[in-house]
A and B are shown apart, each in its own frame.
Chain A
Amino acid sequence: MLKINNLHASVEDKSILRGINLEVKPGEVHAIMGPNGSGKSTLASVIAGKEEYEVSEGEILLDDENIDELAAEERAHKGIFLSFQYPVEIPGVSVTNFMKAAINETRKAKGLPDMPANEMLKMIREKSEMLEIDRKFLSRSLNEGFSGGEKKRNEIFQMAMLEPKLAILDETDSGLDIDALRIVANGVNKLKSKDNAVIVITHYQRLLDYIVPDFVHVLYDGRIVKSGGKELAHELEEKGYDWIKEEVNA
């Protein structure tokens, strides 16, 4: 589904990704871990199409199609979803309106008519119940005044509404208490199928107790320096990242 070959990316001439290779197949869950500043969020943003980042080398393929030249919205239309580490507050646009615009613009791009209002409402109801989101919450301005946990839950609500092929969860666990973490993880697990895939970016192993990865990769200094199964996450939790750094620097 997703294939990243020798990806180099920089922002304002500062090189951040220095040759990433990664393949994600349908039905898989990949975890990307690594110390602060290793390039985890940059990788997520580059896949989602953030324009500030310049891809100087390598390629990103989605279903064998090179998506380097596609705008963020076109990538979204093809099924890429990024759950933001820091969701942006947008006063004046309610969560519901935002989702309607997102869904209908995606449908428009696929040549489909707008989703009928009753269908939309039914979907909103189902997905918000799944994530235990209060209906009143949906008429509030997007992320404005939301707690950290509410913001993250709202991200997963958007994911549930948009049903992406590839979801990238960037530090979705930060700011969540244990109950919210469980709700969010259950939501993600319910959305999992053999046809879609998830990349979980996290600093800690905690979230991976709930969203169990098939593969764990360690990102350090802009490269994937180690890959393994879920046991690698436990090892990192126990030993920290210093031994990885030492291995790489040796």
Chain B
Amino acid sequence: MELKEKLISSFMAFENLVDVDLPVHDVRSEAIKRFESQGFPSKKEENWKYTSLNNVLKHNYSVFPKHDNAIEYNDVKKYFIHDIDTYKVVFIDGKYASHLSQTTHEGIDVCLMSSALSKPKYQPIIENYFDKVATKDGLTSLNTAFSCEGAYIHIGKNISVAKPIQIVHFSTGSEAALMLQPRNLIVVDENSHVQIIERHQSLTDNPVLTNSVTEIYADKRAIVDYYKIQNDNENASLIDNTFIDQKRESVTSVHTFSFGGKLTRNNLNFYQNGERIDSTLKGVTIIGNKQHVDHNTLVHHIEPNCESHQDYKGIFGDSATGVFNGKVIVNKEAQKTNAFQANNNILVSDKATINTKPQLEIFADDVKCSHGCTIGQLDESAMFYLRSRGIPEKEAKALLMYAFSNNVLSSVKIPEIKQRITKIIATKLGVNIGFDL
């Protein structure tokens, strides 16, 4: 049976597991219908021209993992940012892992989607925000249909959350192949500030496909900094659908670090619903083998006097393939928009490929919009310069690649994340030199 049919028929079994009397279930029922009519995207769709899901959809995924798998903190400590105090919302095979988590209800809510969906006190937030900014395409609808677990974060007015929040999803290989549909809702009220780190990590070689949806709402003057660390093993694939709704004078940033995984697709969407909004989208991709990373971004400038800054760097080795498709829409009303986009790539192998496509749709006449994409090789004269100072070829290459990514790293506000990323880059490039000197 094809995965699509399997998922649709699993929906009835899913209904036996959840409370179908909750209002959210109507949203799910509508969503499964949409998935039924739309299905998975194919390469015929413009947005999926360079990314085929065929290879990752062919496995016979389990939709409901059978049992909780206990893993000890020490075994997975390395996947956390563990040298600073953080809140943690951790899942194992899609189920909440309380022993690895540190949630809170003190002043802020950092807890579970399952609670938020079922408990009456969260209903106003769920009604106002759940599945509101998310688009209604096939993949997002699929996630909505099966949405029952994930992180729920609500920061009330005027709170600067002292500790970053980590959302970590582990998969253990208890199933031959596993499909996960995590659903996160993050609501940040006016004048509040929060930092979030998200990671998906498979602990076995069994295939895993994660189709994740995250909705983020940044109210007036809210500040949200979001970091996605994508360094999964090479049998794990991720489709990340993130939707950010920004209100007046809010400032949000998403940094995506893509180093691992078999196929990674980031659908990152910003909607600027207010004036003087600032949105930042940055990413570093360093992949090899037959890995594939696709950044599909959208910034929708709806109102005047807003800014967006996009900066994506990619380094592709072996037979790796990359895609950058950056769409910027500036509505007629959105005068004085400043929208910047840059996508720079280095191909370090003859077989590596990058498809990069800026897409600007500008309907206002008084705006500053720029975009630029480059594809190149490592600079030979720079290589000779470094080597003439005694830095061997491999290390010189690594240093240049690190330097190339440094623009993106420099805006990471949590030093521990920067250190971690630096270390991952060094490991990835197979060198043992400290970049962070």
Residues of A within 8 A of B (CB): 48-52, 71-73, 75-77, 81-82, 84, 87-88, 90-94, 96-98, 100-106, 109, 141, 158, 162
Which residue, B388, B393, B403, B434, has most C-beta atoms of chain A within 10 A? Answer: B388
> CB within 8 A of A97: which of B390, B395, B405, B437?
B437
CA separation between A158 and B388, bound complex, in Å? 11
- Given the interface contacts A90-B400, A92-B403, does A102 sit within 8 Å of B389 by beta carbon? yes
Q: Is the CB of B384 within 8 A of A92?
A: no
Smallest Cβ-Cβ distance to B401: which chain A residue? A92
Question: What residues on B are CB-neighbors of A50 within 8 Å?
Answer: 384, 388
A101 touches B395 (CB 8 A): yes
Residues of chain B contacted by A81 (CB below 8 angstroms): 388
Which chain A residue shows the least CB distance to B407?
A92
Contact A100 B387 (CB under 8 A): no
Q: What's the Cα separation between A90 and B386 when bound, in Å?
A: 10
Given A88-B385, A96-B437, does the pair A102, B406 have CB atoms closer than 8 Å? no
Q: Are the CB atoms of A82 and B391 closer together than 8 Å?
A: no
User: Of B379, B382, B388, which contacts A48 at CB under 8 A?
Assistant: B388
State the majority secondary structure of interface residues on A.
helix
| Residues of chain B with a CB closer than 8 A to A106's CB | 390
**Is there contact, CB below 8 Å, between B379 and A88?**
yes
What are 22 A-B contacts with C-beta separation under 8 Å?
A: A49-B388, A50-B388, A52-B380, A71-B387, A71-B392, A73-B391, A75-B388, A76-B390, A81-B388, A82-B388, A87-B385, A91-B403, A91-B406, A93-B402, A96-B437, A97-B435, A100-B434, A101-B399, A101-B437, A102-B390, A102-B391, A162-B390
Taking a contact as CB atoms under 8 Å apart, the answer to whether A105 and B437 are in contact is no
CB distance from B254 to the nearest CB of A (A): 21
B388 close to A76 (CB less than 8 A): yes
Chain A residue with the shortest CB-CB distance to B405: A92
In the bound complex, what is the Cα–Cα distance between A204 and B402 (angstroms)?
Answer: 39
Within the assembled complex, what's the spacing in Å between the Cα atoms of A162 and B391?
12
CB neighbours of A98 from chain B (8 A): 386, 389, 399
Residue of A nearest to B380 (CB): A52
Query: What total of chain B residues lie within 8 Å of the partner, measured CB to CB?
Result: 28
- B384 engages A72 (CB within 8 Å): yes
Interface class of chain B by DSSP: helix
The residue on B at minimum CB distance from A158 is B389
A73/B392 contact (C-beta < 8 A), A87-B385, A92-B404 known: yes
Partner of B385, one of A84, A94, A104, A162: A84
Q: Is the CB of B382 within 8 A of A72?
A: no
Residue of B nearest to A84 (CB): B385
Q: Could you tell me the distance in whole angstroms from the C-beta of A122 to the nearest C-beta in chain B?
A: 15
Besides the contacts A49-B387, A105-B392, what 18 more A-B pairs have beta carbons closer than 8 Å?
A50-B384, A72-B384, A72-B388, A73-B387, A73-B389, A82-B388, A84-B388, A87-B385, A90-B400, A91-B407, A92-B402, A92-B403, A92-B407, A96-B437, A98-B399, A101-B437, A102-B391, A105-B391
* Residue in A closest to B404 when the chains form the complex, CB atoms: A92
What's the nearest-Cβ distance from chain A to residue B384, in Å?
Answer: 5
Asked whether any CB of chain A lies closer than 8 Å to the CB of B433, the reply is: yes
CA distance A72 to B384 in the complex (A): 7
Is residue B381 contacting chain A, with contact meaning CB distance below 8 A?
yes
Residues 401 to 437 of chain B near chain A (Cβ within 8 Å): 402-407, 433-435, 437
In the complex, chain A residues whose CB is within 8 Å of the CB of B437: 94, 96-97, 100-101
CB-nearest residue of chain B to A109: B390
The residues in B between 12 and 51 inclusive whose CB is less than 8 angstroms from any CB of A are none
Contacts of B380 in A (CB 8 A): 52
How far is A93 from B392 in the complex, measured between Cα atoms in Å?
A: 16
Docked pose: A25 CA to B406 CA in angstroms? 43
Check A76 against B382 for contact (C-beta < 8 Å). no
Find chain A residues with CB under 8 A from B434 CB: 100
Distance of A39 Cα from B432 Cα, bound (Å): 38
Which chain B positions have C-beta within 8 A of A103?
A: 390
Q: Which residues of A contact B399 (CB under 8 A)?
A: 93, 98, 101
Whether A76 and B385, one on each chain, are in contact in the complex, defined by CB atoms closer than 8 angstroms, is no
The minimal Cβ–Cβ distance linking B404 to chain A, given in whole angstroms, is 7
CB distance from A79 to the nearest CB of B (A): 10
Question: Complex Cα distance A67/B381, Å?
Answer: 21
* A93 contacts across to B, CB distance below 8 A: 399, 402-403, 406
Contacts of B402 in A (CB 8 A): 92-93
B437's closest neighbor in chain A, by CB?
A97
Residues of chain B with a CB closer than 8 A to A94's CB: 437
**Smallest distance from the beta carbon of A201 to chain B beta carbons, Å?**
15
Contact B433 A101 (CB under 8 A): yes
Nearest 9 Cβ contacts at the A-B interface: A92-B403, A92-B406, A76-B390, A72-B387, A106-B390, A102-B389, A88-B385, A73-B387, A97-B437
Contacts known (A88-B379, A105-B392); A76 close to B404, Cβ less than 8 A: no
B315 → A minimal CB distance (Å): 13
Contacts of A158 in B (CB 8 A): 389
A84 to B386, CA, bound (A): 11
**A101 touches which one: B381, B391, B393, B404 (CB < 8 A)?**
B391
- Expressed in whole angstroms, the minimum distance between the Cβ of B433 and any Cβ of chain A is 6
Contact at A90–B391, with CB atoms within 8 Å? Answer: no
